[in-house]
Amino acid sequence: MKIEHLLVQHFYKHKEVTLQGIGTFRLSSDFVLPAENDKDTVIPENAISFQFDSRAAEDDALISYIVEQTRKMRPLAAADLDSYLVLGKQFLNIGKPFKIEGLGMLLKNQQGEYQFTQGYSFSTKPEEAPPAVVKEKADDGDLSFRDDSGRSGGGTKKTFMTVAALLVVGILGAAAWYFFMRNPQPAAVETATQVPVTPPQTDTGSNTTTPAVTDSSTLAKKDSVPAVPPPVAQGSYTFKVVFRVLSQGGALKKKIELNKPNVIMYTTDSVHYKLAEGFNLPLSDTTRIKDSLRLFYAFRTFIELK
């Protein structure tokens, strides 16, 4: 069951839910939850209120409910919820609505605050409700980086293994191409320096000429060192390709593990930290670079301009 459905179920059961970094939703005490066999239920006007709070903390009760329903460990349940909310904030930051099926819709105003518009119906069978964020992805696939692995499909085991093998080969090929394009290695030029030959000396006593012998070991070889292109200086790039959004500790740990000088870590809200690579290239190259990094890091990527 998806996080969105569990969030709505918890809200109607406890009449209140808090989403970290967004705010608190409250359900009117006059509203009565319908029977489970009712397919669609109309929500009265002004039954749901919203209080914006950019510093809202995690809702322990919501995380406990997710753990209870999914049987996942608490850190994994908290990470799933955080990923869902980060995705929603990405939509809000680019001016698109963040829809929560069964509650309503959030929009970001000119002052940077979130405004809530209540929905007027919801289904008591959440497994039949289509996820709203997936609808947004259908509208603009380039802006959404949600994992589509949840879609079920039939197929034999042989077909699955074939697809997996092709995927691995494709990822390895893309990674090799990416590193080859980013770090071209010029061929080393081997030069030889020959020691001048000493002219022969004549022994006047014996009239014997001793020719000078050139020692082949004196031939010195010089290998040129391939030039490494300088890394893009901080702030000199035209766009960034973000490939991970984590907490401060998680982002710092991942950056150390990657050990790549061109990976940058930054944050815009002091809560979520982004790992990205900066590029000083024309904006026409954003799609090609984004797809290459998506294959290399095995995560969905997105573009942020300078």
User: 241-257: per-residue pLDDT in tens?
Assistant: 898 888 888 888 888 88
The predicted-structure confidence for 22-51, as pLDDT tens digits, reads as follows 999 999 887 777 666 556 677 888 889 999
Task: Give me the percent of the chain exceeding a pLDDT of 90.
Answer: 24
Task: At 275, give phi and psi (nearest 5°).
Answer: -110, 130
**Which pLDDT score is estimated for 218?**
43
In which residue are the tokens 């031939």 written?
219
Query: How would you label 93-115 residue by residue, b for 16+ Cβ within 10 Å and e otherwise?
Result: eeebbbbbbbbbebebeeeeebe
**Which pLDDT score is estimated for 37?**
53
* Among 59-73, 205-219, 224-238, the range of highest mean pLDDT: 59-73
The rounded distance, in Å, linking the Cα atoms of 304 and 229 is 23
**Which pLDDT score is estimated for 238?**
80
Tokens at residue 193, please? 């320096």
* DSSP result, the chain: --HHHHHHHHHHHHSEEEETTTEEEEE-TT--PPPTT-SEEEPPTT-EEEEE-TT----HHHHHHHHHHH---HHHHHHHHHHHHHHHHHHHHTT--EEETTTEEEEE-TTS-EEEEE-SEEES-GGGSPPHHHHHHHH-TTT-----TT------HHHHHHHHHHHHHHHHHHHHHHHHHHS--PPPPEEEEPPPPPPPEEETTTTEEE-----GGGPEEEEPPPPPPPPPPTT--SEEEEEEEE-HHHHHHHHHHHT-TTEEEEESSSS-EEEEEEE-S-GGGHHHHHHHHHHHHTS--EEEE-
Tokens at residue 7, please? 């969030």
List the domain boundaries for the chain: 3-139, 239-305
Side-chain-side CA neighbours of 190 within 13 Å: the count stands at 3
**Which pLDDT score is estimated for 137?**
44
How large is the average pLDDT for residues 185-196? Answer: 44
Check if the beta carbon of residue 234 is closer than 8 Å to that of residue 220: no
The predicted-structure confidence for 115-164, as pLDDT tens digits, reads as follows 999 887 766 555 444 444 444 444 444 444 444 444 444 557 788 888 88
| Between 50 and 297, residue with greater pLDDT | 50
Work out the number of other CB atoms within 10 angstroms of the CB of residue 81. 20
The rounded distance, in Å, linking the Cα atoms of 182 and 32 is 60
Check if the beta carbon of residue 264 is closer than 8 Å to that of residue 278: yes
The predicted-structure confidence for 43-75, as pLDDT tens digits, reads as follows 888 889 999 998 999 999 999 999 999 999 999
| Between 179 and 188, residue with greater pLDDT | 179
**Which pLDDT score is estimated for 70?**
92
The rounded distance, in Å, linking the Cα atoms of 218 and 249 is 56
Query: How would you label 47-74 residue by residue, b for 16+ Cβ within 10 Å and e otherwise?
Result: bbebebbeeeeebeebbebbbeeeeeee
Check if the beta carbon of residue 24 is closer than 8 Å to that of residue 51: yes
